[in-house]
Amino acid sequence: MYMARRLGRVVANIAQSGADYTETLNLWETSMGNNLTVATEFVNKMNEAYGISEKTLMNAQAIFKNMLGSLGQISDQTAYKISEALVQMSADFSSLYNVSLDSAFKKMQSMLAGQVRPIRSAGLDMPETTLYQFYQQIGGTKTMRQLNRTEKQLLSILAVYKQMGSAGALGDMSKTLNQ
């Protein structure tokens, strides 16, 4: 009787895992749209290089791309490229700051949604003065009040990227694996 229940749970878990993967694949394919071929190459490279499951990568990239698309004013191609960068940044963040990959994805999603507290826990910060300095460095001429939500979110990504670069986090997953 005990073995039958145990076997039943195993079969149920396998079925649930298959259903979860199918749902993730559907979300990812729908999100990637015209970028599906290049997105497939990206997921395969990340999977091979870091051993991160395809399902995990696809889910994170789909969420990032959908969040970026919902901001508006960003082309599909640009949203795709930034989603790639955010997946890579998340892997590096996870590696350097010794947090789970899932936690790193959630922190990057929070940052993209305008919530700075989760990313601040690692010493990364994005006060308006920092964002505005980055904006001026890239040649921006508007005041901070004149920037729309999309521009501010893109500046946040740039600020975190630059801060991670300064902290030595960019490429940390590769360095860690090579060691």
Report the amino acid identity of residue 66.
N
pLDDT tens digits, the chain, 179 residues: what are they? 676 677 556 555 554 455 577 888 888 899 999 999 999 999 999 999 889 999 999 999 999 999 999 988 899 999 999 999 999 999 988 988 889 999 999 999 998 888 878 888 777 777 888 888 888 998 999 999 999 988 888 888 888 888 888 877 777 666 665 55
Provide the whole-model pTM.
0.81
pLDDT of amino acid 4: 62
The beta strand positions in the chain, using DSSP E, are none
Give residue 73's pLDDT. 87
Count Cβ atoms within 10 A of the Cβ of residue 53 and give its class: 0-12 exposed, 13-18 middle, 19 or more buried: middle
DSSP 106: H
Residue 62 identity: A
- Contact between 94 and 83 under an 8 Å Cβ cutoff? The reply is no
Instruction: Report the chain's C-alpha Rg in angstroms.
Output: 19
pLDDT of residue 68: 93
- CA–CA separation, 132 vs 41, rounded Å? 35
For the chain, the distance separating the N- and C-terminal CA atoms, rounded to the nearest angstrom, is 48
d(CA 131, CA 16): 43
Note the pLDDT of residue 100: 93
pLDDT reported for residue 65: 95
